[in-house]
Amino acid sequence: MTALDVDAGDGLTIHVEREGSGSALLLLHGFTGSTITWSTLREALRDRFELLIVDLPGHGRSSAPADPARYALRRVADDLARVLDALGVARTTALGYSMGARTALQLALAHPERVSALVLESGSPGIGDPTERAARIVADEALATSIERDGIGAFVDRWEKLPLWASQDALRPVARARLRAERLAQRPQGLANSLRGAGAGIAPPVTDRLGTIATPVLLVAGALDAKYVALGRMMRERLPDARLEVVADAGHAVHLERPETFAAIVGAFLDALPEANRASPL
């Protein structure tokens, strides 16, 4: 494995880890995540694909700018294109989880020539209802303020009690400990400004643009996460070339809760891509 920090400009550096060989696969974690979240998937796929594992702005070992606008997903899409340039990768499959799935969608829309296929785990095209969006912005600001005021430890204690993560109670102790350590390693400014600049409320929805994405798309959702199963079905109907896999006995984080199943689904999808949709070097 090699690691490097790519200067994306305006005070932002993006930490990237690169390993494996074959067609490129860009991995984008969710909120409170980092490159660590993909440990099992990396082990399963690095012998068949070149993995490009990124810490998104404000997370892991990427920098955490003071300006929330620097975290906007449209800007991050441009940052990821610069990362691909620095790595000498012309096209890649982009795999994103939750916030990372929204980021992958933005990359495919802003730089379609760089994306050969998409894998969206627990993904959403954004909040369409203006009232719901406004309420989410208020809620995200309140959460951001509490993170800055109370610190990461208090935030993680509250975050882990959310109903969204209830299915993670079944994780093995070592996996739960690793997940908690990953969350606790984050920085208050990074998480707070990620919420302010890239939260689901502030980011414009892209539902009406899904029909322009011509690349193959794999949608993955956990059967215990009814909201994202419904979002997956909606996106499948709007995307020109998409399939949906609903994984039994899994919630929001399928890659953590059913890692072997997730790796098998992703690997099979990538193996079946036509040659025209394979990633390539510059």
Query: How many domains is the chain partitioned into structurally?
Result: 1
Residue keyed to tokens 């309420």: 135
Q: Which of 91, 84, 219, 126 is nearest to 76 (CA)?
A: 84
Backbone angles phi, psi at 226, to 5 degrees: -60, -40
Q: Which of 105, 100, 107 is nearest to 53 (CA)?
A: 100
**What is the C-alpha to C-alpha distance for residues 167 and 175, in angstroms, rounded to an integer?**
13
pLDDT in tens, 50-90: 999 999 999 999 999 999 999 999 999 999 999 999 999 99
pLDDT for position 274: 81
C-alpha R_g of the chain: 17
pLDDT in tens, 9-62: 888 999 999 999 999 999 999 999 999 999 999 999 999 999 999 999 999 999
Q: Which of 199, 212, 249, 214 is nearest to 98 (CA)?
A: 199
Q: Indicate the pLDDT class of residue 276, thresholds 50, 70 and 90.
A: low
Single-letter residue type at 11: G
Residue 282 has pLDDT above 70, yes or no: no
pLDDT in tens, 150-204: 999 999 999 999 999 999 999 999 999 999 999 999 999 999 999 999 999 999 9
**What is the C-alpha to C-alpha distance for residues 53 and 29, in angstroms, rounded to an integer?**
9
Domain that holds residue 169: 2-281
pLDDT for position 11: 87
CB 189 within 8 A of CB 148: yes
CATH number at residue 72: 3.40.50.1820
**What is the C-alpha to C-alpha distance for residues 58 and 83, in angstroms, rounded to an integer?**
16
- The dihedral built from the CA positions of residue 189, 17, 120 and 111, taken in this order, carries a sign that is positive
| Buried b or exposed e, range 50-71, using 16+ CB within 10 angstroms | bbbbbbbbbbbebbbbeebebb
CB 211 within 8 A of CB 239: yes
Cβ-Cβ contacts under 8 Å for 268 (sequence gap 6 or more): none
**What is the C-alpha to C-alpha distance for residues 57 and 15, in angstroms, rounded to an integer?**
9
